[in-house]
Amino acid sequence: MATESEKRLISVLQEDVRATISDIARKLNVSRATVQARISKLEKEGVIIGYTLQLGKDYLNQFVSAHVAIAAERRSSAIVSSGLMKIEQVSAVHAISGEYDMIAIIHAKNTEQLSQLIDYIGNLEGVMRTNTSVILETKEKR
């Protein structure tokens, strides 16, 4: 469990993952060595597992995005998930509860490519059925 000071550090990193150690130290009113030690500790503990790039809305609006709910045959979830992660246009695969076993988030260049991707996913080994919801608009909490 992260301490309060580590939670503040995480919050600063979430605001700007590219902030320098010096900038973070100033914001938290601690030394650079303290910041570096805390980041190293959080990385070793698996609290911080990587640093990512967030794409802007204008860039993402160039794509047709969809959530594809997938029902897999019994004991085939790992095979299906592995197959999905090999598809370049799949950005994430979530295991879920309910009628479907997982949801894949896909980003296609256009509706034709989206249709091809959905067909491809439906034909993966272990997939029983799919249900696709095209994302029309995204509202983000800021």
> What residue segments make up the domains of the chain, in order of their start?
4-44, 57-134
Residue 80 has pLDDT above 80, yes or no: yes
Yes or no: domain 4-44 corresponds to CATH 1.10.10.10 = yes
Average of pLDDT values for 94-117?
Answer: 96
Mean pLDDT of the chain: 92
d(CA 129, CA 121): 9
d(CA 94, CA 97): 10
d(CA 87, CA 107): 11
Give first-to-last CA distance, the chain, whole Å.
25
d(CA 96, CA 116): 24
Average of pLDDT values for 88-113?
Answer: 96
| Angle at alpha carbon of residue 102, lines to 93 and 141, rounded to 5° | 60
Q: Which CATH architecture has domain 57-134?
A: 2-Layer Sandwich (3.30)
HSE-CB of 61 using CA atoms within 13 angstroms: 6
pLDDT for position 2:
77
Query: Is the pTM above the cut of 0.85?
Result: no
